[in-house]
Chain A
Amino acid sequence: MLAYLIRRVLIAVPVLLGILALAFILVHMLPGDPATVLLSPEELQGDPGLIERRRAALGLDRSLPVQYVAWLRELAGGNLGYSFHRKIPVTEMMAPRVAPTLILSGSGVLVALLIGVPVGVAAALRQNTKFDYVSSAGSMLAVSIPTFFQGLMAIYVFSIWLGVLPSGGMRTLGIPPTGFDLFRHLILPGGVLASVLVGPYVRYTRQSLLDVLRLDHVTTARAKGVPYWGVVVKHSLRNSLIPLTTVLAVQIPALLAGTVIIEYVFSWPGMGRLVIEAINSRDYPVILAVVMITAVFVLIFNFLADVVAAILDPRIRL
């Protein structure tokens, strides 16, 4: 198993460098000169040689590969760059945004799993019944309605029409923050995120379980007298959850896309909203930092999925 995991890490390293290289290329596509962007107009006018000196100081006069390596070194030191807009380190801007995003995406994934996996299992066990058709049409519908439209509908129905839930933000202003208040604010965005995610979970669980139920060892288990739920839980579910862990990891970019739009629609003060704000104010370093962090997250989660698969599937423990 250790050898297997080391191999996975070794595969991930060039991918990581590739991701960073692509991000670096994007940095250089960006309009605006980093040498001037942190300076005020008065400084620029006062000293014509300043730009050249700034360029040299920032290393912008060196070749691209050298700059890439230097940039990597900065990254390793935790420097994700400076916000064009607010002239502060990007990390400083992002810090308060991390927790809200984790709360939102975590609860979305959790709810989607808690609904999606059982529904997928039930659909597989009752293949071709009304339940199966309805759940599959429902999950199809959930992935087909644009996220932002679901969000707007949710606000329209629950906040405007019924008036039972807040339409946005993370807490009610003017009252001290409580867990319950946060929960009330979380219901709509979290629910929409879960709805966006649940469709694929249902489909993957169903298909994966159906694939396993067809296998010979399931017949063996039945033939030796294992009760129905024993066959389903012990001999099918565990086997079918192995591919599902990979799906969870692979879906992180989709999860993030959902989070960005939902945070925007619901004014949720997380990283996603930060990205939209950054795009609107053309604050590219912030966007790039988020892109890189996500990509690295995807890599980490892919690796974790491999670990989980290795734990669940003894054939991988080589």
Chain B
Amino acid sequence: METTVHPSAARPDPLLSVHDLRVDFKTEEGVIHAVRGVSWEVYPGEVLGIVGESGSGKSVSVAAVLGLLPSQSATVTGGPVLFGGRNLLTMSERELRKVRGKEIAMIFQDPMTAFNPVQTIGHQLSEALRVHDRSMSRRSAKITSTDLLALVGVPSPAERFSQFPHEYSGGMRQRAMIAMAIANRPKILIADEPTTALDVTIQAQILELLEVVRKETNAATILITHDLGVIAEVADRVLVMYAGKVVESTSILRLFQDPRHPYTLGLMGSLPRLDVRMEQLYSIPGQPPNLNFLPQGCAFAPRCSLGRGRSLCRQVEPALVEVDAQQAAACHFTTEMETEARAVSERVGIDVRAGRE
């Protein structure tokens, strides 16, 4: 697995940079602050993992970037979100449309529902090509689509072209979804929980395929998942999100060796490991916070063992502070992580941090 991190000085310009993105949802229970000011960048060719529990705002933040949230209930503020020097948030729908699927493409979680059930897979693939290239004929779109299906490993693609989604298996459908996403050779590929809805055996194949198409297209990839195992396999850099904020941003190696946020540590403690014997799995106590009644101070404080109810945690929300060039964490007591990690490790029986046992 490639884990080299560009030293910040030598980094190329980011492809996409998100600044202070905020998303609110109006509901009857009040306003849900789903994303509360997140900033991140994606660099060419890298795999950025965004990890967090459902409701942490990870999917919502990327949907907001592409303007895919329902304008009725969602309010996107903050920004800018810069792509190729232009702010995606202020772009007109007409311009944004040209970015979607062409420059930035998405792969969705559930291949069952992500395809239109009344159109053939081939039709939907061809459409992805033809909406961005009006001059392309039906025939050449069909040829390209069939090639794409072959590329992603759909057997007998010429026949499969004219089949409907319900005639595909779940794994095949996700392959077709990936084919559709890479159809226009996008610069960025966003995969939102691409394996969650699939069987475990198929998950591995799809991850492998993602890696293949990434190499093939050289697209930067944003991989959204709740599964640290998936992150460990493919990501170069990781953002850990909690309650609508980034709580830790780090390289993949550091994530596992030296997590700097107690939530990250908790996630790792709850990850089963096959390489070492574990006495028991750790689980983070409590439940994720209610996004329309967020506590004052650190959102993780009620569940945090490191904070131990210190008043600072309950009063002041910690900012994301750089530990060094490769790592940043949003915790008042990130310096105490060493002791905390040892405490968790004692409970679990091994050091949950990779390479430390």
Chain A residues proximal to chain B, CB less than 8 Å: 127-128, 215-217, 219-228, 230, 234-235, 238-239, 242, 312-315
- A239 and B166: CB pair below 8 A? no
Minimal beta-carbon separation of A282 from chain B (angstroms): 52
Q: Kindly state the separation between the CA atoms of A312 and B177 in the bound complex, as whole angstroms.
A: 23
Chain B residues proximal to chain A, CB less than 8 Å: 63, 66, 68, 72, 93-94, 97-102, 105-106, 108, 110, 113-120, 127-128, 131-132, 164, 166, 177, 180-181, 183
Minimal beta-carbon separation of A65 from chain B (angstroms): 46
- B117 and A239: CB pair below 8 A? yes
- A217 and B115: CB pair below 8 A? yes
Q: Which of B93, B98, B101, B166 contacts A315 (CB 8 A)?
A: B166
- A228 and B106: CB pair below 8 A? no
What B residues does A235 contact at CB under 8 A? 116, 119
- A225 and B132: CB pair below 8 A? yes
- B68 and A128: CB pair below 8 A? no
- A228 and B93: CB pair below 8 A? yes
Q: Which of A230, A239, A315 contacts B131 (CB 8 A)?
A: A230
Closest to A214 in B: B70
- A216 and B108: CB pair below 8 A? yes
Q: A127-B72, A239-B118, A312-B118 are in contact. Are A224 and B180 (CB under 8 A)?
A: yes
Closest to A219 in B: B68
- B68 and A222: CB pair below 8 A? yes
- A223 and B116: CB pair below 8 A? no
Minimal beta-carbon separation of B262 from chain A (angstroms): 35
- A227 and B164: CB pair below 8 A? no
Q: A239-B118, A314-B164 are in contact. Are A227 and B113 (CB under 8 A)?
A: no
Q: Which of A216, A228, A238, A313 contacts B114 (CB 8 A)?
A: A216
- A217 and B117: CB pair below 8 A? yes
Q: Kindly state the separation between the CA atoms of A239 and B165 in the bound complex, as whole angstroms.
A: 14
- A223 and B106: CB pair below 8 A? yes
- B105 and A223: CB pair below 8 A? yes
Q: A225-B100, A227-B131, A228-B93 are in contact. Are A220 and B115 (CB under 8 A)?
A: yes
Q: Which of B63, B102, B115 contacts A225 (CB 8 A)?
A: B102
What A residues does B93 contact at CB under 8 A? 228
Q: Which of B94, B117, B183 contacts A314 (CB 8 A)?
A: B117
Closest to B110 in A: A216
